[in-house]
Amino acid sequence: MKSEGLLEEKSYKFAKRIIKAYKYLTSKQEYILSKQLLRSGTSIGANIVEAQYAISKKDFRNKMSISLKEAVETRYWINLLKDENYFLEKEAKSLIEDLNEIISMLVKVVKNAI
């Protein structure tokens, strides 16, 4: 589907931003939360790609649901890092805006995969 292709592209670009954020955070000697952010933020796209090769509709929906959960978790880590002054408000807002777009798309895909 076209929407899954766009979703895959957006999540890939987002993962690249998360990797840059991880490098920035580790340069500030923040290792624990940054690792959580890296794991959840890159997992979004990995699960979307995995869903493209699902063996059933149920498997597809499950992978997309996992991706959605990872996206929501990533938003949590970004907000926590912002609140603890590891991210500036502007940086966090930009990441959250991209993430909210991905979340919105994932919600639609999951709902339509019934």
Helix 89-112 and helix 57-83: axis angle, to 10°? 160
pLDDT of residue 9: 97
Structure tokens at 26: 């580790």
Domain count, the chain: 1
Tell me which residue range forms the domain holding 43.
2-112
In 1-114, the DSSP E strands lie at: none
In tens digits, the chain (114 residues) has pLDDT values of 566 789 999 999 999 999 999 999 999 999 999 999 999 999 999 999 999 999 999 999 999 999 999 999 999 999 999 999 999 999 999 999 999 999 999 999 999 987
What radius of gyration do the chain's Cα atoms show? 14
pLDDT for 2 equals: 63
Domain CATH for 79: 1.20.1440.60
Residue carrying structure tokens 């805006």: 97
Return the structure tokens found at 110.
């999951």
Determine the pLDDT at residue 114.
75
Q: Measuring CA to CA, how many Å separate 19 from each of 69, 101, 111? A: 19, 19, 29
Q: Exposed (0-12), middle (13-18) or buried (19+): which is 31, by Cβ within 10 Å? A: exposed
